[in-house]
Amino acid sequence: MSPRSLSLRAAALAVATLAHLAPFGIQSADAAPGARFTLHVSPKFPLTDAAAARIERGMTTEQVRGLIGEPWNTVRFDNTRTTAWDYEYHDGWGYDAVFSVIFDDAGVVVGKISVRHDA
């Protein structure tokens, strides 16, 4: 593992600790019941509205990763058997937002949503 990867992992761990999140992959008290999350750092792919618009139902995890990179956060929803990949970005109007791509257990996109932080 490169020194950059190690420092990014250390930064992600520090963010998780400071935000009072549960350890990676373990159920969070703040998440929906049955949800688990994983924190990632992906500085190579700054998300834009245009890139988010290219994500379509039926795409695979690899296709999404190729278009917009690794998610900042993942949340597993056992009740619906889906996993959301979350990306923080500035939308076309300059607002801080979270774009989520929802995958089924086969790793295929079944939905997407963008939600602005408190404006």
Domains of the chain, each with CATH number or no CATH: 3-116 (3.30.1450.10)
Long-range contacts of 60-68 (CB under 8 A, 24+ apart): 60/107, 60/108, 60/109, 61/85, 61/103, 61/107, 64/101, 64/109
- pLDDT confidence of 118, banded at 50, 70, 90? confident
Q: What is the pLDDT of residues 17-33, one digit of tens each?
A: 444 333 334 344 444 55
Selected residue with higher pLDDT from 3 and 103: 103
Question: Can you give the pLDDT at residue 45?
Answer: 55
Q: What is the CA radius of gyration of the chain?
A: 14
**Chain length of the chain:** 119
The secondary structure element, H or E, covering residue 52 is helix 49-53
Phi-psi region of 58 (alpha: psi -120 to 50; beta: other; left: phi over 0): left
pTM: 0.64
* Closest alpha carbon to 20 in 33, 32, 8, 29: 29
Q: Who wins on pLDDT, 24 or 98?
A: 98
